[in-house]
């Protein structure tokens, strides 16, 4: 089949790989003008994503993730209060994105191509590109992220819900840090639990993928409750005065938001984490939202990744969920051709996949509550 994918991030790339493997003709439409680089911070790469990459010819564990052995909890003064073994490999969004991109022919992705309208037709789907070009496909896959424009077209009355807390984030090159600080943080995920907040940091590959000591980076996240709508709006307004829905990218934080972040760090964090903050050149912020599309398929349009649903980051399952979505969809379509009932197959897949993700969504909310983060849900 001829399949169009909207969104060339991790979920879109994973879907393209699996669908090409079962013989489909796939084109990705990505609105950014060039391959994405430096867009994200650290990510956990769970077994499902590792297996997915290795199945597609990438020796992931040795080249993608920085090995760590420990999970360490610090007290507010920086002293160690607890440690235990940790087996989750940590990588970066860039490394996973690059690994997926390298497995696809360069002409699969059409950069600078924004999908502005979608119409389900009898036996096909029509896609409008930038309001000037129309493309017809057998089906379309929306992989355009948590703020999915395709989801908004399909379900105009649906709104994601703010979970009541933010993730302040940053990445800092290891070479900028003192040897003493690196020694304190190396080989572990290091955490601090406060009232209504959680800080964590762990090593990740360099922007070019290097994982050697001295060349790596350290990723940090500071989850903080923020129930004040006015404050949330201020932090999501960038340095040019533009208000963003859920995140402000690295280098775009306003002076007010940056000053607030540094003031909180001086007041709340032990020196080891304050130093990370001080050496971070471009912190950014992400508001945590819950989104679960009313359906994962409408006619010949299917939703995957964060366009279908967002899972709280505490499950460390974002990349693996994208891979699992892609695999499940490819399996559902592997025995089909345009002459059979694609819409029925998509509807069956959508119902099953949505149900499968229910426990993971619930687990993410439970973890947030256990850390004192966000609004209490029943």
* pLDDT for 338 beyond 70: no
Distance between CA 314 and CA 219 in Å, rounded?
15
Q: pLDDT (tens digit, 9 = 90+) per residue, 273-320?
A: 999 999 999 999 999 999 999 999 999 999 999 999 999 999 888 788
**Facing residues of 317 across strands?**
none
Distance between CA 90 and CA 203 in Å, rounded?
7
Structure tokens at 61: 């564990």
Q: 152-158: long-range contacts (C-beta < 8 A, 24 or more apart)?
A: 153/117, 153/118, 154/118, 154/293, 154/298, 154/301, 154/303, 155/293, 155/294, 155/295, 158/293, 158/294
Mean pLDDT for the chain overall = 90
pTM for this model (two decimals): 0.90
329 or 53, which is more confident?
329
Mean pLDDT within 24-53 = 78
Distance between CA 277 and CA 171 in Å, rounded?
9
Q: Which domains does the chain have, with CATH numbers?
A: 2-31+112-158+293-370 (3.50.50.60), 60-89+163-288 (3.30.9.60)
* pLDDT for 72 beyond 60: yes
Write down the pLDDT at residue 378. 40
Q: pLDDT (tens digit, 9 = 90+) per residue, 95-113?
A: 888 888 888 998 999 999 9
Q: pLDDT (tens digit, 9 = 90+) per residue, 171-215?
A: 999 999 999 999 999 999 999 999 899 999 999 988 888 888 899
Per-position b or e across 93-105, b if 16+ CB within 10 A of its CB? bbbbbbbbbebbe
* pLDDT for 330 beyond 50: yes
Angle between helices 271-278 and 255-268 (to 10 degrees): 160
Write down the pLDDT at residue 15. 93
Q: pLDDT (tens digit, 9 = 90+) per residue, 151-178?
A: 999 999 999 999 999 999 999 999 999 9
* pLDDT for 246 beyond 50: yes
Write down the pLDDT at residue 57. 64
Structure tokens at 102: 């390298």
29, 54, 325, 133: CA torsion to nearest 10: 10
**Rg, Å, the chain Cα set:** 21
Q: Are the CB atoms for 221 and 280 separated by under 8 Å?
A: no
Q: Are the CB atoms for 169 and 220 separated by under 8 Å?
A: yes
For 144-201, the DSSP string reads --TT-HHHHHH-TT---EEEEEEEEEEEEEGGGS-HHHHHHHTTEEEEEEETTEEEEE
Write down the pLDDT at residue 95. 83
Write down the pLDDT at residue 22. 85
Q: Are the CB atoms for 243 and 257 separated by under 8 Å?
A: no
Q: Using DSSP, state whether 80 is helix, strand or coil.
A: strand
* pLDDT for 61 beyond 80: no
C-beta atoms surrounding 209 within 10 Å: 15
The lowest-confidence range among 71-75, 94-98, 161-165, 374-378 is: 374-378
pLDDT band for position 64 (50/70/90)?
confident
């Amino acid at each position: 089949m001829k399949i169009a994918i909207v969104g060339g991030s991790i979920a879109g790339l994973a879907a393209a790989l699996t669908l090409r493997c079962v013989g489909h003709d796939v084109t990705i439409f990505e609105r950014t003008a060039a391959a994405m680089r430096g867009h994200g911070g650290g990510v956990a790469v769970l077994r499902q994503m590792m297996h997915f990459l290795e199945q597609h010819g990438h020796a992931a564990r040795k080249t993608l993730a920085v090995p760590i052995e420990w999970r360490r909890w610090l007290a507010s003064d920086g002293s160690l209060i607890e440690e235990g073994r940790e087996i989750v490999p940590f990588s970066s969004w860039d490394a996973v994105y690059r690994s997926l991109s390298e497995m696809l022919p360069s002409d699969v992705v059409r950069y600078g191509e924004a999908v502005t309208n979608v119409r389900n037709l009898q036996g096909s789907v029509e896609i409008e590109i930038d309001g000037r070009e129309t493309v017809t496909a057998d089906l379309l896959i929306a992989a355009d992220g948590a703020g999915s424009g395709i989801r908004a077209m399909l379900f105009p009355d649906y709104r994601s819900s703010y979970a009541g807390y933010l993730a302040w984030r940053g990445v800092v090159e290891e070479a900028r840090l003192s040897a003493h600080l690196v020694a304190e943080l190396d080989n572990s995920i290091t955490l601090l639990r406060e009232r209504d907040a959680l800080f964590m940091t762990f090593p990740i590959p360099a922007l070019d993928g290097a994982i050697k000591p001295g060349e790596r980076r350290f990723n940090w996240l500071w989850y903080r409750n923020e129930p004040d709508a006015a404050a949330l709006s201020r932090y999501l307004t960038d340095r040019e005065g533009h208000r963003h829905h859920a995140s402000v990218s690295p280098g775009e934080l306003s002076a007010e938001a940056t000053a607030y972040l540094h003031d909180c760090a001086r007041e709340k964090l032990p020196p080891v984490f304050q130093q990370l903050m001080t050496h971070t050149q471009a912190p950014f912020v992400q508001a945590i939202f819950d989104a679960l599309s009313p359906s994962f398929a409408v006619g010949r349009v299917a939703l995957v990744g964060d366009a279908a649903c967002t899972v709280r980051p505490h499950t460390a399952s974002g990349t693996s969920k994208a891979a699992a979505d892609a695999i499940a969809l490819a399996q559902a379509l592997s025995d089909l051709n345009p002459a059979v009932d694609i819409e029925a197959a998509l509807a069956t897949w959508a119902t099953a996949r949505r149900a499968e993700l229910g426990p993971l969504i619930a687990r993410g909310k439970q973890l947030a509550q256990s850390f004192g983060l966000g609004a209490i849900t029943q």
